[in-house]
Amino acid sequence: MDATCILDGKFALAESPVWSASDQKLWFADIHAPNLHRFDPATQKLETWNMPSALGSLAPTRGHELLLARRDGIWLFDPVSESETLLATSPLEDARFNDGRCDRQGRFWVGGMTDDRQPDTALYRLEGGRVLRQGLVGAIAISNGLAWSPDGATMYHADTPTMCVWAYDYDVKTAAISNRRLFLDLRETAERPDGATVDSAGNYWVALYGAGRVVQVSPEGKRLRDVRLPANATTMPCFGGPDFKTLYITTARQRHTPEDLAKTPLAGGIFAIPVEIPGLPEVPFTSGA
């Protein structure tokens, strides 16, 4: 299966794609630009909002605002008025927020990423809309792969340099995690897990940064299929389209040499491919969760 480039944006580090069902558009970040983008696949129109600090991830809300995990904290951002409200100041030093999303109940989780790629950060949860609970999973260098099963009872998470994805039992009432277990071991192939999502059948789709592909993995951990891209630095997939049967994939071109770009000129583009099993819409952030 090969994905097609739908936006040759040459983004340095496109990440955190989120589909908006209300207007059929794709939100995503270019982390270090730092920019927030909204793309309309039907018209090819791209809108851009410049951010004051690195934008690691984003999540929808029940209104038209977005939840943004920036280097300086967690913010509510209104793209219409461009006004913003600080919810929680970042506790990170020499690090920034990276991969983040809401669980099936609308509680926002986000991981950190250290500047020197050392395992000195953690996974956090925004509680009561204003307080970051820290250290839920610790000793993380590059937090990625965060996703939940359709029933919300299993949480997935990866620390990219370890080349492993872990699964946890997840208490949907209390958000407590337990029973950590190895779900996907990529150490033999040296493939590095980046952003991920889950389809309506419970299959886990994860981007393999540097491998030029996104893989679909069954709930039992069996590798089912590979989606190949003409861009090596695949960063994150998400489902979208009217029926959520289009897989959108962000990529990067950071740290590419001229020789790399000659071989993969579409690096940093946004890609898409139709799939048979539909995905699930992102759960909006609920401040009282």
Q: What is the rounded CA–CA span in Å between residue 130 and residue 114?
A: 23
The answer to whether 116 is a known ligand-binding residue is yes
Tell me 279's DSSP state. Answer: B
The answer to whether 194 is a known ligand-binding residue is yes
The answer to whether 96 is a known ligand-binding residue is yes
Catalytic (active site) residue 185: no
Determine which one of 194, 226, 243, 260 is catalytic: 194
Calculate Rg over the CA atoms of the chain.
17
The answer to whether 144 is a known ligand-binding residue is yes
Give the sign of the dihedral formed by CA 286, CA 37, CA 270, CA 113: negative
Q: Extract the tokens encoding 175.
A: 């958000």
User: Is 247 in contact with 279 (CB distance < 8 Å)?
Assistant: yes
**Spatial CA neighbour of 215 closest among 193, 239, 183:** 193
Q: Extract the tokens encoding 15.
A: 């990440």
Which residue matches tokens 């690090």?
95
The answer to whether 50 is a known ligand-binding residue is no
User: Is 44 in contact with 25 (CB distance < 8 Å)?
Assistant: no
The answer to whether 179 is a known ligand-binding residue is no
Active site residues: 194
**What residues form the annotated binding site?**
15, 96, 98, 116, 144, 194
**What residues form the annotated binding site for substrate?**
96, 98, 116
**What residues form the annotated binding site for a divalent metal cation?**
15, 144, 194
